[in-house]
Amino acid sequence: MSHQLFAKKLFPKLESGKPTFFFLIDNLRYDQWRIINTILTNYYRLDDEDSYYSILPTATQYARNAIFSGLMPLEMEKRYPSLWQNDEDEGGKNLHEEDFIDDQIKRILRKNCKFSYHKILTLDQGRDISENLSNLMSNDLNVLVYNFVDMLSHARTDMAMIRELANDEAAYRSLTLSWFEHSPLLETLKRLSQKNVRVVISTDHGTIKVKHASKVIGDRNTNTNLRYKQGKNLNFIAKDVFHIKNPHEAKLPKLHVSSSFIFAKEDTYFVYPNNYNQFVNYYNETFQHGGISLEEVIIPFITYSTK
């Protein structure tokens, strides 16, 4: 499972004296990794190609927090009551990743590990990291989160131009490759290839192009994600969903006595009956995540060493 990646794959290697750089590229599908790997193998030796399954929901606030904490969402809610944010809570849902990493390292290794955490949201932040790698070389572990691919996915929903550039999976991969070839991330990886480091590339979840709308009804507190819904007294088309009646059985928080989760299967997405046609026209054939499909749940976990 993805929430055990750190402990299983990274921790045993942190005592080797060689810095590990863990790049989590948000929303990176397995096929997208295969495309950027054609460039990376010019600079690195591919040591280990592995894959895992994301937790459900395949949404950033659940899947990425689970990776960095090494815990399932229900366990996080219990262990970090002041840090964990449920769907109905106000504010950002991924604001405490560094705290989760720190706690997991101490909990699993039971010793100090010098690490850094950086979230790269802008071009300038990416350039700053690339130009200041020497400051990170004394750390056992450096965690770098890149949100560009996730932003690309959402931009495709919102911008007609991006829809035209990424109108199918092949074009989506091509656009990802074009970004990577000209990104500060590749520049960072090129510079690291000249040093004695270990590089790990992974993600928190993938994404799928949705094509079939499925009507769902919930109360006003039901979350807005198109691929999963959490709420009270949900009304849905049973054949389109995987229904978890008791969230605790899936190690998910239960906000109310009658709360349950539904996850869209394959290329389905949820639409409310109100303004049905308007939402279908807007979201049909966009890339979404949160539900159950191979594209969303298969997570690449790749280890490289310098040549």
Nearest to 270 by CA among 234, 233, 296: 234
Choose between 159 and 229: higher pLDDT. 229
Q: Return d(Cα 240, Cα 237) in angstroms, integer.
A: 6
The whole-number average pLDDT for the span 130-150 is: 90
Task: Check: CB of residue 5 under 8 Å from CB of residue 202.
Answer: yes
- Residue 49 CA, chain-centre distance (Å), reads 18
Using DSSP's 3-state secondary structure scheme, residue 124 falls into helix
Q: Return d(Cα 205, Cα 208) in angstroms, integer.
A: 10
The answer, yes or no, to whether residue 158 has pLDDT greater than 80, is no
Say which residues have a Cβ less than 8 Å from residue 245's Cβ, sequence separation at least 6.
260
Looking at residue 170, its pLDDT comes to 86
The maximal CA–CA distance of the chain, rounded, in angstroms, is 58
pLDDT band (50, 70, 90) for residue 91: confident
Choose between 219 and 199: higher pLDDT. 199
Comparing 11-20, 112-121, 127-136, 200-209, the range with the smallest average pLDDT is 11-20
- Condensed to tens digits (0 to 9), the pLDDT of residues 13-57 reads 776 778 999 999 999 999 999 999 999 999 999 999 999 999 999
Strand partners, 80: none
pLDDT band (50, 70, 90) for residue 121: confident
Q: Residue 184 phi/psi, 5° resolution?
A: -60, -25
- Condensed to tens digits (0 to 9), the pLDDT of residues 273-302 reads 988 999 998 899 888 999 999 999 999 999
Task: Check: CB of residue 224 under 8 Å from CB of residue 163.
Answer: no
Q: Return d(Cα 120, Cα 112) in angstroms, integer.
A: 25
Average pLDDT of the chain is 90
State both tokens at 159. Answer: 């911008």
Looking at residue 303, its pLDDT comes to 95
Say which residues have a Cβ less than 8 Å from residue 90's Cβ, sequence separation at least 6.
none
Comparing 5-19, 73-87, 207-221, 262-276, the range with the smallest average pLDDT is 5-19
Looking at residue 101, its pLDDT comes to 94
Nearest to 106 by CA among 9, 14, 215, 196: 14
Looking at residue 14, its pLDDT comes to 79
The whole-number average pLDDT for the span 138-162 is: 72
Q: pTM to 2 decimals?
A: 0.92
DSSP string, 23-87: EEETT--HHHHHHHHHHHTTTEEEEEEEEEE--SS-SHHHHHHHHHHTS-HHHHHHH-TTT---T
Q: Return d(Cα 229, Cα 239) in angstroms, integer.
A: 15
